[in-house]
Amino acid sequence: MGQGDVGLAERRFAVEAARVALEGLSSVLHQASGAELALLMTEVDGLAALAGAARVSVTAEAVSRGEVSDSGVNVHGWVREHAPSLRQGGAGHVATMASAMTAGGAPWSTGAGPDPESPVGILAADVVTGRAGPALATAVLREVDRLAPRLRPEALPTVTKALMDLGVQWGPSVMRRLRPRLLAEHGLPGELDGLQERLASGALLSAPVVESGDLTEYRLLMTPEQSAVLEAAIGPLSAPAPDDATGQRDLRPAGQRRVEALTTVCRRSSARGAAGAGGDGAAASPAALHVTMSLTDLQERTGCAEVLGSVATGTLLAPATVRRVACDADLVPHVLGTAGEILDLGRTVRLFTRAQRRALWLRDRCCTYPGCGAPAGWTQAHHVVHWADGGASDLDNAALLCQRHHTLVHTRGLVADVLPAPDEHGRTVVWDLTPGSYDRHLTRLRARADDTDRRQRARRLLLDAFGDPRDDTRPHELPPDDPHRWSAA
């Protein structure tokens, strides 16, 4: 007899029998061997999962029939009344899923329900089979609701299934960590950039709290970019450092090593500032970041870059963030092809030298963004044409910007014109504040470069065929079958 041939009365009898079998089970567990205990645990767990699924199905049927009002409060109250064990927690999850699954109004037991390719339909299929509990399903539903406006519509089923599969394996707490990856792969254009921009306002470093001359406490929240820079800076310095001469191990706890590494970085920064900008070598950068990014994403500003080689490994950086960091930090790009093969292991981005920075201080005096007077010592050297787009670290491709306006220039996509001499207003750097002006400028540069390449290729073809007309050692003639003559004149 198949599952569909078992009526309600028989099923209720079996449920009652299962309940009786579980009552007092602990009193006979001593009779089981170790292998039997493991098998029994699996069987009881499967029964509990199906019992949770049945709670949702029974509630959905009651809602779809109108036995209980389809509002969150009333459904929740009905579940708490008839499933007393859920008063300890969980009634809200059952009520939420039942209400979502019966939004169409048809009786649940007739098979009418949400579209199986919709997020609710995908989640309902896993809930009623016991694969996922209502708590996980409601957590996935909330996350999908948050992500839906930022995703390409056709990606919604894929994202829902991915979140559910991840939750089944690892629980709902790991879903937020997947959000940047989902936005990078399935989001609307610019969504990952937007997410990381919104995080900036939540980052903080609290004022120090000192308890009676004891340890000083800080509270620190960082954006992915800031965290990656910090870990790149302190990672190598926080590794255990045993004494090779004596063989003594480094007994410092990991937390102590990390805070001492941070202190070392701060001391070095202060020492560089105190020593001045002497020397003409490459200026010291805030950190050296290793990132991996596909060639297509690097060129088209899509997807994301992934941090490598530090505690922050796996952190995702938006394309705009990578471009901004490349202006003023050592960036080692690991460029990948479409099949994941390594195309270029990269090299540290050539930063502006100390001599160039001194020249920029003298030329620009302060932040070059209109209306900002932040002193030169507070600024960063910005590549007017980004390094990722082939911009050189030369003075005629450089402009001083404070941190705030450096971020703004990258966010809005602005470009500047670096003049050979100050204009009538005393400006050497003139910004085009029209959003997207950088992309339009880059399009013109690439069109100009393509035209130059075409002309050079044509010239090479002519020279290969006929020689250089300025070369008097070759006859200035076209091939014999052409009646026309070609002269150097």
pLDDT digits 0-9 by tens, 40-62? 999 999 999 999 999 999 999 88
- Can you give the residue ranges of every domain in the chain? 42-188, 190-205+218-239+254-351, 354-435
Q: What pLDDT score was predicted for residue 483?
A: 47
Backbone angles phi, psi at 152, to 5 degrees: -65, 135
In DSSP notation, 382-416 reads EESS-GGGT--SSGGGEEEEEHHHHHHHHHHT-EE
Residues in contact with 253: Cβ distance below 8 Å, sequence separation at least 6, in sequence order: none
Which residues are registered as beta bridge partners of 401? 380
Q: How far is Cα 172 from Cα 178, in angstroms, rounded to an integer?
A: 11
**What b-and-e string marks burial along 252-279, b requiring 16 or more CB atoms within 10 Å of the CB?**
eeeeebbbebeeebeeeeeeeeeeebee
Residue-wise pLDDT for 351-374, tens only, equals 777 778 888 888 998 899 998 877
Q: What are phi and psi of 455, to 5 degrees?
A: -65, -40
Can you read off the two tokens belonging to residue 455? 């002309």
Q: Is the pLDDT reported for residue 435 higher than 60?
A: yes
Highest average pLDDT, of 67-81, 160-174, 233-247, comes from 160-174
Q: What is the pLDDT of residue 82?
A: 92
User: In this structure, what are the phi and psi dihedrals at residue 399, rounded to the nearest 5 degrees?
Assistant: -155, 140
Q: Lowest-confidence range among 295-309, 409-423, 468-482?
A: 468-482
| Residue 348 pLDDT | 57
Helix (H, G, I), strand (E, B), or coil: what is residue 216?
strand
Residue 382, helix vs strand vs coil:
strand
Please check the confidence at residue 74 and state whether its pLDDT lies above 90: no
The pLDDT value recorded for residue 134 is 92
pTM score > 0.75 for this model? no
Q: Identify the band that residue 245 occupies on the pLDDT scale cut at 50, 70 and 90.
A: low
User: What does the pLDDT read at residue 274?
Assistant: 46
Amino acid at the residue 24 = G
pLDDT for res 246: 66
